[in-house]
Amino acid sequence: MLIDEQTLPALARGCSVLGAGGGGDVHTGLLACRQAVETYGPVPVVELDELPDGDMIMPCGYIGAPTVSIEKLGSSHEGEWLREGLEELTGRTVAALMAAEIGGSNGLQPIGWAASLGLPIADADGMGRAFPLVPQVTMEIAGIDPSPGVLTDERGNRLTINASDGQWLERIARTLSIEFGGRAASTEYTMTVAQARSATARGTVTLATEIGRAMLDADEPVAALADAISLRCLIEGKVVDVERQVTGGFVRGAAVIEGLREDAGRMLRLEIQNENLVAIEDGVVRAMVPDIITVLDTHTGAPIHTERLRYGQRVTAVAFPCHEIWRTDGGLALAGPRAFGYEFDYTPIEELA
Amino acid sequence: MLIDEQTLPALARGCSVLGAGGGGDVHTGLLACRQAVETYGPVPVVELDELPDGDMIMPCGYIGAPTVSIEKLGSSHEGEWLREGLEELTGRTVAALMAAEIGGSNGLQPIGWAASLGLPIADADGMGRAFPLVPQVTMEIAGIDPSPGVLTDERGNRLTINASDGQWLERIARTLSIEFGGRAASTEYTMTVAQARSATARGTVTLATEIGRAMLDADEPVAALADAISLRCLIEGKVVDVERQVTGGFVRGAAVIEGLREDAGRMLRLEIQNENLVAIEDGVVRAMVPDIITVLDTHTGAPIHTERLRYGQRVTAVAFPCHEIWRTDGGLALAGPRAFGYEFDYTPIEELA
């Protein structure tokens, strides 16, 4: 598969759906990628099975608050600086880029960087969705060392990080993203192709593109999405309240959706840390991390990222299963409800009423 | 000259005097150095003229709030990690360590690191005193590149920094020192011996040791200090007010000294950002950065660092000229009163009433 100007809108839509409200609004990411693909040509999507075992995979993306990302644009050199930094550090050559998270703009951004570097993009990512924290990746569960990491900004500040563990990598990268104005580009959890085959969520670039294509080709995109993946509709209604602030390098807050039509009289509350974490109705949890909760525009089907939620939007909130690795003990320890401070255990969306 | 257990107390006292209240209280730094010298042997002090032109000098020390430094001890590995990081980055060998600032504990700390690394210490530093900001060094005036820098903490987090300029290096290092709990060890402005000869304050390790020796050998240490260096006594009195907070990675605040004996009826206010910046009496500035304002215990002559000032201390505040490089246009732009937000020009202590 090649990602070109025709494929990009479908991929962007799919990334947005998989983003659980986070990973950054795809609008500016799509513009940046379109420009890169126009300038440097399309980007080949490679299967990890097709690459030599010992080649190096560079997971990458932006860290920060999505609210900032939609206004603070990159310089287009970040991908080059990340690769240079990583190759100098390791003395090895990057064979392919990979989105650290497929969700939101972070699923797209590595494509723009890959285009300018003349490198392919791996058909995989580190989450199968978006999560707020750097170590909330499948590579952490697989025991890949998060260090060395490389971090840069649009001014050309360039850092290499050897952190004592994944939590410290998160703290260091987060505090630097704040100092840089709310966003930094970074790579962590570098690995070989052989490692990546079992340490990543596979096939997610293809999945995102297929989801997006199904929706963009359809007259009724929400229904088309429900046909494409195993989906639960949480509520159809109107956004009646949004609290949101950028704090500690994250977007945090909550939104309330009041049901309309068949759902009239119902109220659903979404709690947010960059992504939609839990959906609660009358004190009952209707969906929870690591399953994916996404809010769609009821008419266009376009996902509304958490930083774009506002009063009056007509929306349909949906939830669907996360990648199976997040349902293991290791996955839940890293990204289950308790990892976000909730005092309840995970129940898969399929088992919730 | 060799720095051994006998020399260390004199050096510590001299560093403390030159620290202008900052650079960190020498107590814990002295303990750490004494242990290192006991374990690894004394540290040779080398003249920059004795070293080969092309050898590499590593300026180093701690960055952060002194209030934290007296409680948050190092791991003793920081010097080793800084050197390793720098040598990996540059592919060159460090020939000698140098204190980035001779003032306070930062004038001592590199001696402990040098002992454990089996390296000499250069008879020079980057300030001739202590200053709060990373780029407030003679190397910045001489046009030495602040990058690459290396930063570490006691946990083993290790970063290399290529900043877009000295201000960004300061911002990055400061925010990381805060994240690490208020203190980080770092090296910046690496240079060759040939560069260091004209880019540093020379002979300051010897100067500090001589100042300390004169005071420690004397029955009246304050008078002995006045004999050793050209000194102005600002006030002898009692600390009657201290405001102080740790904010933005600095100690900021002010202290008021009420005159006693011959100075009865007078009040002197010291304004603080890690170091004593200005001394004001009845709205008139009596001494100002970059000249050195140090508060001494009236009886013992021991300097009282800004983080140790408290109500009731009997003190003598003194001021004396800074290194001449700080009186140049470049020096004043970097560390004159206006660089700290004061709206007046620099007047040398010798010309003030």
pLDDT per residue as tens digits for the range B267-321? 999 999 989 999 999 999 999 999 999 999 999 999 999 989 999 999 999 999 9
Q: How far is B138 from chain A (nearest CA, A)?
A: 23
Q: Nearest 5°: phi and psi at B151?
A: -135, 140
Query: B155 — contact with chain A (CB < 8 Å)?
Result: yes
What domain range is B323 assigned to?
220-351
CB nearest to B172's CB, from A156, A162, A179: A179
Query: B150 — contact with chain A (CB < 8 Å)?
Result: no
The last residue of one of the domains, among A154, A173, A205, is A205
Query: A75 — contact with chain B (CB < 8 Å)?
Result: no
Do B331 and B193 sit in the same domain of this protein?
Answer: no
CB nearest to A168's CB, from B157, B160, B162: B157
- What size, in residues, is chain A? 353
- Is the residue at B214 inside a domain? no
Which residues from chain A sit within 8 angstroms of residue B167, using beta carbons?
Answer: none
Record: contact A172-B179, CB cut-off 8 A: yes
Closest-CA residue to A133 (of A311, A339, A350, A300) = A339
- Is the residue at B172 inside a domain? yes
Query: A178 — contact with chain B (CB < 8 Å)?
Result: yes
Do A50 and A194 sit in the same domain of this protein?
Answer: yes
The last residue of one of the domains, among B180, B205, B230, is B205
CB neighbours of residue B238 within 10 Å: 17
Q: What is the pLDDT of residue A248?
A: 77
**Predicted confidence (pLDDT) per residue in A198-254, tens digit:** 999 999 999 999 999 999 999 999 999 999 998 999 999 999 999 998 887 788 899
Q: Is the pLDDT of residue B262 over 90?
A: yes
What is the tally of structural domains in chain A?
2
Do B272 and B184 sit in the same domain of this protein?
Answer: no
Q: Which helix (H) or strand (E) holds A317?
A: strand A314-320
Do A186 and A64 sit in the same domain of this protein?
Answer: yes
Query: A155 — contact with chain B (CB < 8 Å)?
Result: yes
- Is the residue at A212 inside a domain? no
Do B193 and B272 sit in the same domain of this protein?
Answer: no
Q: What band does B106 get if pLDDT is binned at 50, 70 and 90?
A: very high
ipTM of model: 0.83
Q: Which helix (H) or strand (E) holds A89?
A: helix A78-90
Q: Is the pLDDT of residue B247 over 90?
A: no
DSSP letters of A245-312? EEETTEEEEEEEEEE-GGGTT-EEEEEEESEEEEEEETTEEEEETTSEEEEEETTT--B--GGG--TT
Q: What percent of chain A has pLDDT over 90?
A: 87
Tokens describing residue A237: 């209604």
Query: What is the distance, to the nearest Å, from the Cα of residue A50 to the centroid of all Cα atoms in its chain?
Result: 25
Disruptive mutation site among A78, A88, A176 for chain B (greatest number of B CBs within 10 Å):
A176
- Is the residue at A129 inside a domain? yes
Q: Which helix (H) or strand (E) holds A212?
A: helix A204-216
Whole-angstrom Cα distance, residue A122 to residue A204? 9
Q: What is the pLDDT of residue A220?
A: 94
Record: contact A164-B178, CB cut-off 8 A: no
Tokens describing residue A257: 């959706």
Whole-angstrom Cα distance, residue A23 to residue A99? 11
Record: contact B164-A157, CB cut-off 8 A: yes
Do B67 and B181 sit in the same domain of this protein?
Answer: yes
**Predicted confidence (pLDDT) per residue in B13-60, tens digit:** 999 999 999 988 899 899 999 999 999 999 999 999 999 999 999 999
Which residues from chain B sit within 8 angstroms of residue A159, using beta carbons?
Answer: 159-162, 172
Q: What is the CATH number of the domain that holds A331?
A: 2.40.390.10
**Predicted confidence (pLDDT) per residue in A275-323, tens digit:** 999 999 999 999 999 999 999 999 999 999 998 999 999 999 999 999 9
Local structure of residue B303 (DSSP, 8 states): B
Disruptive mutation site among B88, B150, B158, B165 for chain A (greatest number of A CBs within 10 Å):
B158
In terms of DSSP bridges, do strands B183-187 and B149-152 run parallel, antiparallel, or are they unpaired? antiparallel
Record: contact B159-A161, CB cut-off 8 A: yes
Q: Which helix (H) or strand (E) holds A332?
A: helix A329-335
Record: contact B155-A168, CB cut-off 8 A: yes
Record: contact B164-A156, CB cut-off 8 A: yes
Do B181 and B231 sit in the same domain of this protein?
Answer: no
Q: How far is B67 from chain A (nearest CA, A)?
A: 21
CB nearest to B160's CB, from A159, A163, A164: A159
**Predicted confidence (pLDDT) per residue in B191-211, tens digit:** 999 999 999 999 999 999 999
Local structure of residue B203 (DSSP, 8 states): T
Q: Which residues contact B84 (CB under 8 A, 6 or more apart)?
A: none
Do B140 and B242 sit in the same domain of this protein?
Answer: no
Helix axes B8-18, B26-40, angle to 10 degrees: 150
Q: Mean pLDDT over residues A327-348, rounded?
A: 96
- Is the residue at B76 inside a domain? yes
- The tally of CA atoms less than 13 A away on the side-chain side of residue A116 is 18
Do A38 and A177 sit in the same domain of this protein?
Answer: yes
Q: What is the pLDDT of residue A50?
A: 95
Do A238 and A346 sit in the same domain of this protein?
Answer: yes
**pTM of the shown model:** 0.86
- Helix and strand tally (H, E) in chain A? 11, 17
Which residues from chain B sit within 8 angstroms of residue A171, using beta carbons?
Answer: 179
CB nearest to B157's CB, from A155, A172, A176: A172
Query: What is the distance, to the nearest Å, from the Cα of residue A348 to the centroid of all Cα atoms in its chain?
Result: 20
Q: What is the CATH number of the domain that holds B120?
A: 3.40.1610.10
Which residues from chain B sit within 8 angstroms of residue A75, using beta carbons?
Answer: none
Indicate the Cα dihedral angle A325, A329, A335, A339, nearest 10°: 180
Whole-angstrom Cα distance, residue B285 to residue B344? 10
**Contact status, residue B98 vs residue B196, Cβ threshold 8 Å:** yes
Q: What is the pLDDT of residue A117?
A: 97
Query: A82 — contact with chain B (CB < 8 Å)?
Result: no
Tokens describing residue B248: 């933005």
Alpha helices in B97-142 (DSSP H): 105-117, 138-141
Q: Which helix (H) or strand (E) holds B216?
A: helix B204-216
Do B176 and B285 sit in the same domain of this protein?
Answer: no
Q: Say if residue A66 is preceded by a cis peptide, omega within 30 of 0.
A: no
Q: Nearest 5°: phi and psi at B162?
A: -110, 100
**Contact status, residue B143 vs residue B119, Cβ threshold 8 Å:** no
- Is the residue at B146 inside a domain? yes
Do A75 and A181 sit in the same domain of this protein?
Answer: yes
Q: What is the pLDDT of residue B24?
A: 87
Average pLDDT of chain B, as a whole number:
94
Q: How far is B151 from chain A (nearest CA, A)?
A: 10
Say which amino acid occupies B14. Answer: G
Say which amino acid occupies A176. Answer: L
- Is the residue at B239 inside a domain? yes
Q: Mean pLDDT over residues A10-34, rounded?
A: 94
The last residue of one of the domains, among A174, A205, A236, is A205
- Is the residue at A238 inside a domain? yes
Query: A150 — contact with chain B (CB < 8 Å)?
Result: no
Q: How far is B186 from chain A (nearest CA, A)?
A: 14
Q: Mean pLDDT over residues A186-205, rounded?
A: 97
| Locus of tokens 């100098």 | A88
Tokens describing residue A145: 């060392």
**Predicted confidence (pLDDT) per residue in A131-182, tens digit:** 989 999 999 999 999 999 999 999 999 999 999 988 999 999 999 999 998 8
